[in-house]
Amino acid sequence: MGDLSDTVIAMEGERILIDSLNRRFRVKSTVPLSQTPPNLSINRKSKPWNVYFSMVATVLPAFFLMYASLFIILGFVESEPVLTLSGAMCSLPLTFLLFRLHRPRIIHVRLASPDENGSTVHALPEGGSLQTPTKTNFSRFLVKEDSILETPPSGQLWFLFSSTVTLGLLLTSLFLFGETVPLGNAMFLMLAIPLWLVGFSLPVLAWWGSSTSSIGMPTKRREAESWLIAGMASAFPAFFFNSLVAPAMIPSSFPDWAIELCILALSAPFFEEIFKALAVALFIPAITGPKKGFQVGFTVGLGFALIENFQYIGYSLIGGPLSITITILVRGIGSIPGHAVWTAISGCAIGWMATESDFKSRLSWRAKKAAIGTVDLIESMGIDLDGDGDLSGFDGERRSLEEEADFIEENTSIGPTWLTEGANPSNNQGANQEHQFLNHGFGISYDSEAPFSDLRGIRSPKSIKKALAIAILGHALWNGSSYASYVMPQYLGMSDSESGLISLIWTVILILSILAAARSLMNGVKSLEN
């Protein structure tokens, strides 16, 4: 057979390496990646403050991206290509940074399980090997980090928030006495930026954690962060309409105070609540009911407030320590929960809509219709997308909306349910009554009990139109009355101190009202099914 002294036979699961001296080494091959086990459970070290730093790192580029996007639009409107180009050049790195910050984190998991038929040595892909005291079966796979949202304890957050406000008041007191003014100026210059960063972000995180624990729905971190980012994104079109569209719609003959009142009490509530509700609607496929809708809406509202806070508290730095302290306090315990509550009302109504089988059938049909249309379009361009050998387009079943609704009804355990509020309980023969319409082939059932009869809090409307109307009116009342409480006393000839006192008293009333509404709504939504 010849001389076999230089022959090296590679066994299964091994590979041959030859070094620079022509020496041959038999090395175990790396185990290939396998499918992730379905029952895998990965624990990680608790790092509740990571979500805070991620939130702050997101809002900074998002805010500047909003203004860069505005320049792009202004360039098109004003036919100024330089503005458009400048805005685009600034937007690209900011957009890249946002995507990089929130790219899915991939975890490389290596698992060595006891196995009598295994080995004690396993090659690692980065080089080297893993040695085990007993024979093991080695596997490795990639998983996306999908941990549960974890925020710092609410007590810690509210303590830090109170400390921030106290520090602002201390700095303010240094400005009241002539001998301490230089010290106050120096301390304010050093602490202005930290006050700004902590003041605009910490109360948002506090409300985020409080709402999550109050509602009682554990949420995946990536899912919750996507809601928050959607709320930030909804601030972009709202900012555009409030800055460019609304002022152009108000007659120029109006006095300045009337123009500002129209923007604050009419334009801002309408556009902001509409765009926030649209942001909630993006997650309809994942919204399983009104409770989930409330949670999504509350978080979207917090995301919007985060962008708004960054701007308002930043502007308040110009007014000194008293201005920034009052702004942090009012927005932290008033404006932030206000945005969250108003959007949560809309989100709850969207959650009710998402549970309707008729709506689900329409949504499913439109999604399939869009996919079929895409296949038809691509194959009309000469590309055999489905690989069937012809360019006739989609060859599967093309159901109509009515057929899709019938199909969904036939393949679900529970058919469409019609709820009639205010039914007369005296006519019932049990909790539910069902009437069959034989001639038409479908049935209608209704609850004789009011759907919210067991709730302790405010009854959130099921109708999206009613929910949006309540959100817009609540927002308008807050903005309009706040502005009027400051302007009207001055218009009536009152002194600055008198108008300031009236504005402060009314602000306290508004804050207490929104806090009471938030508590009542959360109490009501807690008893809803997940």
Task: State how far the Cα of 210 lies from the Cα of 215, in Å rounded to an integer.
Answer: 9
Over residues 22-50, mean pLDDT: 73
Task: State how far the Cα of 214 lies from the Cα of 471, in Å rounded to an integer.
Answer: 21
439: its two tokens:
């001639």
Is the pLDDT at 126 greater than 60, yes or no? yes
DSSP state of 443: E
User: pLDDT (tens digit, 9 = 90+) per residue, 210-251?
Assistant: 887 777 777 888 888 899 999 999 998 898 888 888 888 888
User: pLDDT (tens digit, 9 = 90+) per residue, 52-98?
Assistant: 888 888 888 888 888 888 888 888 877 888 888 888 898 898 888 88
Long-range Cβ contact pairs of 320-326 (< 8 A, separation 24 or more): 320/172, 320/175, 320/188, 321/168, 321/171, 321/172, 321/174, 321/175, 321/184, 321/188, 322/168, 322/172, 322/175, 324/168, 324/192, 324/195, 324/196, 324/199, 325/165, 325/168, 325/169, 325/171, 325/172
pLDDT score, position 304: 94
Sign (positive/negative) of CA torsion 253, 258, 264, 266?
negative
Hey, where are the domains in the chain? 50-103, 154-237+266-356+456-478+491-526
Task: State how far the Cα of 309 lies from the Cα of 243, in Å rounded to an integer.
Answer: 17
Give the pLDDT band of residue 426 (cuts 50, 70, 90). very low
Q: Please state which of the ranges 127-141, 314-328, 336-350 shows the lowest mean pLDDT.
A: 127-141
pLDDT score, position 392: 62
Is the pLDDT at 474 greater than 60, yes or no? yes
pLDDT score, position 433: 39
Give the pLDDT band of residue 434 (cuts 50, 70, 90). very low
Is the pLDDT at 451 greater than 50, yes or no? no
Higher pLDDT, 287 or 412: 287
pLDDT score, position 446: 35
Over residues 289-316, mean pLDDT: 90
pLDDT score, position 423: 39
pTM score of the predicted model: 0.74
pLDDT score, position 477: 92
CA nearest neighbour of 196 among 234, 168, 172, 219: 168
CA nearest neighbour of 102 among 45, 48, 145, 43: 145
Task: State how far the Cα of 412 lies from the Cα of 66, in Å rounded to an integer.
Answer: 44
DSSP state of 431: S
Is the pLDDT at 342 greater than 50, yes or no? yes
pLDDT score, position 468: 93
Residue 346 near residue 464, CB atoms below 8 Å: yes
pLDDT score, position 372: 65
pLDDT score, position 530: 52
Rounded to the nearest integer, the mean pLDDT of the chain is: 77
Over residues 469-475, mean pLDDT: 93
User: pLDDT (tens digit, 9 = 90+) per residue, 353-401?
Assistant: 887 756 656 666 566 666 666 666 666 666 655 555 566 666 666 666 5
Give the pLDDT band of residue 471 (cuts 50, 70, 90). very high
**DSSP per-residue letters across 284-303:** GGG--SHHHHHHHHHHHHHH
Residue found by looking up tokens 């009501």 in the block:
524
Is the pLDDT at 445 greater than 80, yes or no? no
| Neighbouring C-alpha atoms within 13 Å toward the C-beta of 472 | 16
3-state secondary structure of 435: strand
> Who contacts 478 (Cβ-Cβ below 8 Å, separation ≥6)?
334, 335, 338, 510, 514
> Who contacts 137 (Cβ-Cβ below 8 Å, separation ≥6)?
112, 113, 114, 115, 117, 118
Single-letter residue type at 168: G
pLDDT score, position 250: 85
User: pLDDT (tens digit, 9 = 90+) per residue, 173-199?
Assistant: 887 776 677 787 788 888 888 888 888
